[in-house]
């Protein structure tokens, strides 16, 4: 879209450059040119940009590959600058905007998000902006530099929360990133004021929560968002990582990595055909939930070869490409001998309670768990070679959440889980939900502002996610439906949501990536492109393109995939019994849990 004329600004900024060569990225990739494109000082009240901090670095011939965008070779100018909030001391926020070559710019801006406790994912997602002809932004949240996570600055001292950092992580930094970025893109390419610069977002996990934080608060900020497996309902989500630990401690049984993996493998084998096609993928975890009895695994033989792995059991790590940065327990190297045995009744009971989700001692539901067939990452145990036994391996994200963010101690995990019961879990979930209700919880369900602004969001979630329960996304979708269209029939209300909010579950999909145990399921790699087509060309996606071998398109919730045997792809069917398995009643709460 950038014409030769729009580059006259480059000519004036870079005096030595001839008119003929002005169309190349290298001509405009200088700190002088970038400085001239910074938003004006009055543009964002309360923020002062440090113009002298501006840097510009040309990156060419960069080969990028991810499950989140088509493989590509890209070039860009990496512009960074810093700004501060007026009146705060020691406040410096860094932003990086990757700028595409002038001939590739398509009047678009894209923000990308973080993972785990990081507010950005480095260059994991940002190339997708360049690929769609956008200026592509990330922020450091003001935490120090692009590699510093929020937890490093969360405590001003023991027992004192750094609320500025918390609100920046919660939503404010992304708001500033997007507002400044769109203006910077407009200035950099001298886009006339009557031409629209479209604004988009892509992120998964914590990055998914960050995306929703913007939709819920700043309805007209993004025109379109591609959001995966959001870490929202934060107070519950972070404590939920302790589910395996507390189940195992309560039942006093710590399954070995091999026994857990065997239970998962048997679940996959039994549930794979329930969707109509035996292809190694559990496309209908709802049918698995309804029809598979974990007790059927009792007595089945397992064996695993000896391994040398770092940290804990090796089963607890996330599937490849997961964007949660999980802390290793000790970083040590421990040898695990060959394991042979049969699945025990205790092992099946652990898996059963794990999948059931947290209930308090009154039997009331406190939270959601993973779908059957998912890797039981949060149930990982650790092997003690001196006693030749398996024991507690406290979840990194769960342990740190309680120690640092609830107990406010500068500690990266809990020393133990002594005396921690299901009721303790309930207390912790409610404490986090209340304390961070307006910063991190991110479940505000009334999206009227976004809808009336014309925004579109495609929300995806791996149906075999092992780190954020798939049901968490379905529950939020249902909350929005109920709050916005509660008086309509179910079909009328999902049709109304279809106007601006579509949810797609990825069969077999793990946490923000395809699943090493169900690899032919694939992962959707062009969701941002699909959102752009929806926004700019009104092409609303009935199904979503996917990279799976057979599963090349995804069904839009509440429709569910079913292989009829006479086609070349799955049908998308309406199945009330299946829909009902995604309906949770959180009776441990007196108020709605959105
Ligand atoms: C920006 O573009 C407009 C036309 O859209 C042109 O009139 C103006 O001179 C350009 N400004 C600069 C600094 O190149
Ligand atoms: C681009 O990089 C590839 C390897 O990454 C290299 O083989 C090729 O020569 C490079 N091309 C240019 C034009 O620099
Ligand atoms: C952009 O520059 C910043 C600052 O030098 C650096 O930290 C970041 O890795 C760069 N990003 C890319 C994608 O080149
Ligand atoms: C589980 O299945 C995977 C293949 O997906 C295999 O590599 C692994 O050895 C199996 N684990 C057990 C315990 O049988
Ligand atoms: C599984 O077996 C346990 C005893 O080991 C029993 O308490 C439980 O009810 C059984 N579950 C089902 C679904 O039959
Ligand atoms: C474990 O089982 C495998 C085959 O299932 C066998 O090769 C191996 O010798 C067994 N190891 C032990 C220690 O029993
Ligand atoms: C802060 O808390 C941690 C964990 O409880 C403790 O190790 C550390 O000594 C405390 N720091 C201060 C300054 O009290
Ligand atoms: C656990 O409870 C027991 C009995 O009430 C108590 O003696 C012990 O100190 C508690 N441990 C911790 C770590 O709170
Ligand atoms: C449902 O209808 C009632 C009564 O007409 C009205 O007060 C309420 O706002 C409506 N709710 C929704 C979500 O439309
Ligand atoms: C809702 O729509 C589905 C088709 O998407 C249809 O099968 C079902 O019967 C409808 N339900 C009602 C109550 O009309
Ligand atoms: C497959 O055949 C069944 C039974 O004849 C029919 O109901 C269904 O619509 C067919 N599906 C496709 C995709 O043709
Ligand atoms: C979910 O279950 C509750 C309680 O059984 C019921 O009242 C509600 O209608 C269900 N929601 C849907 C969407 O079916
Ligand atoms: Ca299947």
Ligand with an atom nearest the CA of residue 420: 8
Q: Calculate how far, in angstroms, residue 152's C-alpha sits from the geometric centre of ligand 7.
A: 14
- Residue 309's pLDDT is 63
> Which segment of 23-27, 143-147, 424-428, 493-497 scores lowest on mean pLDDT?
23-27
Instruction: Tell me the HSE value of 105 on the side-chain side, using a 13 A CA sphere.
Output: 31
- Give residue-wise pLDDT tens across range 345-371: 999 999 999 999 999 999 999 999 999
pLDDT of residue 566: 75
- Pocket, ligand 2, Cβ cutoff 6 A: 61, 63
pLDDT score of 567: 75
Please tell me the distance from the alpha carbon of residue 138 to that of residue 99, in angstroms, as a whole number.
12
In this predicted structure, the answer to whether residue 80 has a pLDDT above a threshold of 60 is yes
pLDDT attached to residue 325: 35
Let me know: does 549 contact 279? Beta carbons within 8 Å. Answer: yes
Q: What is the pLDDT of residue 310?
A: 52
Provide the pLDDT confidence category of residue 19 given band limits of 50, 70 and 90: very low
pLDDT band at 568 (very low <50, low <70, confident <90, very high): confident
CA–CA gap between residue 235 and residue 434 (Å, rounded): 8
pLDDT at 16 over 50: no
HEC readout, 340-364: EEECCHHHHHHHHHHHHCCECCCCC
Q: What is the pTM of this model?
A: 0.93
pLDDT reported for residue 327: 36
Name which of 14-18, 25-29, 465-469, 494-498 the model is least confident about.
Answer: 14-18
Distance 139 CA to ligand 3 centre (A): 11
Q: How far apart (Å, rounded) are the C-alpha atoms in residues 255 and 313?
A: 11
Please give the C-alpha separations between residue 488 and each of 481, 540, 576, in angstroms, as whole numbers. 9, 22, 17
pLDDT digit string, tens, across residues 59-76: 999 999 999 999 999 999
Provide the H-helix boundaries in 149-284: 163-167, 173-188, 206-217, 234-240, 243-251, 257-271
pLDDT score of 4 more than 90: no
DSSP states along 505-521: EETT--SSS--TTSGGG
Q: pLDDT band at 308, cuts 50/70/90?
A: confident
Q: Using CA positions, which residue lies closest to atom 4 of ligand 9? A: 487
Confidence at residue 297, expressed as pLDDT on a 0 to 100 scale: 98
DSSP H or E stretch at residue 458: strand 456-462
Beta strands 333-336 and 553-555 are unpaired
Taking only the tens place, the pLDDT of each residue in 315-342 is 333 333 333 333 334 445 578 999 999 9
For the segment 281-286, the average pLDDT, to the nearest whole number, is: 98
Confidence bin at 385 (pLDDT 50/70/90): very high
> How close is the Cα of 261 to the center of ligand 4, in Å?
7
Q: What is the mean pLDDT of residues 101-107?
A: 97
Q: How far is the CA of 137 from the centre of ligand 8 (A)?
A: 49
- Tokens at residue 440, please? 């991190």
Asked if residue 576 lies in contact with residue 526, where contact means CB atoms within 8 angstroms, the answer is: no
123 lines ligand 3 (CB under 6 A): yes
Q: Which residue has the higher pLDDT, 305 or 12?
A: 305
Residue identifier of the C-alpha nearest atom 14 of ligand 7: 158
Residues, CB-to-ion distance under 5 Å, ligand 13: 272, 275, 277, 279, 281
Sequential DSSP letters for 51-113: EEEEEEEEEEEEEEEETTEEEEEEEEEEEEEEEEETT-SS--EEEEEEEE-GGG--SEEEEE-
Mean pLDDT across the chain, nearest whole number? 93
Q: How far apart are CA 152 and CA 165, in angstroms?
A: 10
Q: Which residues are catalytic?
A: 205, 465, 511
> Which of 249-263, 483-497, 554-568 is predicted least confidently?
554-568
Pocket residue to mutate for ligand 12, from 476, 483, 557, 583, most atoms within 8 A of Cβ: 583
Closest ligand 9 atom to the C-alpha of 487?
1
Q: Sorting pLDDT into bands at 50, 70 and 90, what band is 7? A: very low
> Does residue 564's CB lie within 6 angstroms of at least one atom of ligand 11?
yes
Mean pLDDT for 142-157 is 98
Residue 318 is predicted with a pLDDT of: 35
Q: How far is the C-alpha of 411 from the C-alpha of 401, rounded, in Å?
A: 10
Q: What is the pLDDT of residue 22?
A: 52
Confidence of residue 17 (pLDDT cuts 50, 70, 90): very low
Whether residue 56 is predicted with pLDDT greater than 70 in this model: the reply is yes
């Amino acid at each position: 879209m950038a014409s030769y004329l729009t580059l006259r600004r480059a000519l004036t900024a870079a005096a030595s450059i001839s008119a003929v060569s002005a169309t190349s990225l290298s001509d405009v990739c200088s700190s002088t040119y970038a400085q001239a494109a910074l938003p004006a000082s009055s543009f964002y009240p309360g923020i002062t940009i440090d113009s002298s901090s501006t840097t510009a670095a040309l990156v060419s011939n960069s080969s990028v590959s991810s499950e989140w965008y088509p493989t590509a070779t890209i070039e860009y100018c990496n512009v960074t600058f810093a700004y501060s909030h007026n009146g705060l001391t020691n406040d410096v926020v860094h932003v990086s905007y990757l700028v595409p070559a002038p001939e590739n710019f398509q009047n678009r801006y894209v923000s990308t998000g973080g993972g785990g406790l990081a507010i950005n994912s480095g260059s994991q997602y940002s190339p997708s902006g360049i690929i769609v002809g956008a200026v592509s932004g990330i922020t450091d949240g003001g935490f120090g530099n692009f590699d510093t996570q929020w937890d490093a600055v969360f405590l001003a001292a023991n027992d004192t929360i750094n609320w500025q950092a918390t609100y920046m992580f919660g939503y404010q930094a992304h708001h500033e990133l997007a507002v400044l970025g769109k203006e910077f893109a407009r200035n950099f390419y001298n886009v006339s004021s009557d031409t629209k610069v479209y604004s988009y977002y892509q992120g998964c996990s914590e990055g998914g929560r960050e995306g929703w934080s913007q939709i819920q608060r700043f309805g007209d900020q993004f025109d379109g968002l591609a959001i995966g497996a959001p870490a929202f309902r934060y107070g519950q989500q972070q404590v939920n990582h302790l589910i395996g630990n507390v189940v195992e401690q309560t039942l006093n049984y710590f399954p070995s990595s091999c026994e857990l993996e065997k239970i998962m493998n048997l679940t996959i084998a039994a549930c794979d055909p329930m969707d109509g096609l035996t292809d190694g993928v559990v496309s209908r975890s709802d049918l698995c939930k309804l029809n598979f009895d974990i007790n059927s695994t009792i007595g089945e033989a397992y064996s695993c070869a000896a391994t040398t792995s770092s940290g804990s059991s090796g089963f607890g790590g996330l599937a490849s490409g997961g964007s949660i940065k999980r802390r290793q327990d000790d970083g040590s190297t421990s040898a695990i001998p060959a394991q042979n045995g049969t699945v025990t009744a205790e092992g099946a009971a652990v898996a059963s309670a794990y999948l059931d989700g947290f209930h308090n001692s009154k039997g009331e539901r406190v939270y959601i768990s993973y779908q059957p067939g998912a890797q039981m990452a949060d149930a990982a145990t650790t092997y003690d070679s001196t006693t030749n036994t398996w024991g507690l391996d406290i979840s990194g994200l769960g342990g740190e959440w309680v120690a640092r963010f609830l107990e406010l101690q500068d500690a990266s995990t809990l020393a133990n889980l002594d005396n921690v019961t299901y009721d303790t879990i309930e207390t912790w979930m409610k404490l986090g939900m209340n304390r961070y209700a307006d910063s991190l919880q991110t479940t505000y369900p009334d999206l009227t502002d976004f809808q009336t602004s014309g925004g579109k969001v495609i929300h995806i979630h791996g149906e075999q996610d092992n780190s954020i329960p798939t049901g968490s996304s379905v529950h939020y979708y249902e909350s929005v439906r109920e709050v916005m269209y509660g008086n309509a029939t179910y079909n009328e209300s999902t049709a109304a949501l279809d106007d601006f909010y579509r949810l797609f579950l990825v069969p077999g999909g793990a946490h923000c990536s395809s699943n090493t145990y169900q690899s032919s399921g694939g992962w959707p790699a062009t969701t941002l492109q699909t959102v752009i087509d929806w926004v700019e060309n009104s092409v609303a996606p009935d199904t979503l393109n996917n990279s799976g071998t057979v599963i090349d398109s995804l069904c839009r919730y509440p429709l569910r995939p079913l292989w009829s045997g006479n086609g070349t792809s799955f049908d998308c069917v309406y199945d009330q019994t299946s829909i009902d398995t995604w309906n949770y009643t959180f009776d441990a709460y007196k108020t709605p849990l959105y």
